[in-house]
Amino acid sequence: MSCRPSWITSAQRDREPIVDTDTCSAEWSPFKELVHANYSKNSFQELVKIMATQHAGFLSETTKLLAAISVIPTSTVPCGRGFSIQNRIKTKGRARIKAENLD
């Protein structure tokens, strides 16, 4: 039995994974040692750039995984702010809809 939700389309189910999980698991130990020894004080964004430019050949699957997760938002605050602004704009627009304004 698959643990994927039933709403996932067949095109999404048949898509190749972004990374090879077996290779990524094998790369975990060298990646962890590399980061601990050399890049422990770097930010996550800096680490992603360093991996992409200096270690992509050695840790290719880990580099792909870092690139993929670096675009995932870690907070929903910007999204919530966007919805608040949208609702304010909609409310102000509704208040101005009068017969004399529409003519």
Q: Which of 25, 24, 2, 23 is nearest to 12 (CA)?
A: 2
Q: Is the pLDDT of residue 1 over 50?
A: no
pLDDT of residue 81: 83
Q: Could you tell me which residue, 16 or 69, shows the higher pLDDT? A: 69
Where do the structural domains in the chain lie, given as residue ranges? 17-102
The structure tokens listed for 97 are: 């809809």
Q: Is the pLDDT of residue 41 over 50?
A: yes
- Phi/psi for 2 (5° steps) reads -80, 145
- Phi/psi for 30 (5° steps) reads -60, -35
pLDDT of residue 102: 60
Q: Which of 66, 64, 57 is nearest to 35 (CA)?
A: 66
User: Which residue type is seen at 42?
Assistant: N
Whether pTM > 0.75 for this model: the answer is no
